Amino acid sequence: RQAGEGVQNLIDSALGLVGIRYRRGGSSVANGFDCSGFVVHVFREGLGLLLPRTSRNISLAGTAVALSELVPGDLVFFNTRRQAFSHVGIYLGDNRFVHAPRTGQQVRIEDLRERYWATRFNGARRIEGA
């Protein structure tokens, strides 16, 4: 599927936040973002969609998508704390995703094929309306 206008708004919104600092529990440009705060903000601002606040609860929304079927705007989940669905990012296409990584870092783009992410990939979801 081609990225529609809504998905493009979502992607533009996400990319506009690259460089914003990570902050545990953060959910705003002014204070910084944690991974789920970033995703919730982008979906609200880019599409007007409200998602649950935690990555675990976000992982229950939408429809499961296979890694081979990812399209821009899908959510990608990772086990980064020995806990399923403990991290979330937004898929951009071409094996890239954007996310708020961890304390001391900033919102940035990563490659799903990097060993760290590939070994921790937990699944993906497509949110209706994205």
Which active-site residues does the annotation give? 35, 87, 99
Residues near 115 by beta carbon (within 8 Å), at least 6 away in sequence: none
Contact predicate 29/17, CB 8 Å: yes
Tokens representing 62 are 């939408």
Backbone φ and ψ for 10, nearest 5 degrees, come out as: -60, -50
- E strand intervals along the chain: 27-28, 32-33, 63-65, 75-78, 87-93, 96-99, 108-111, 121-126
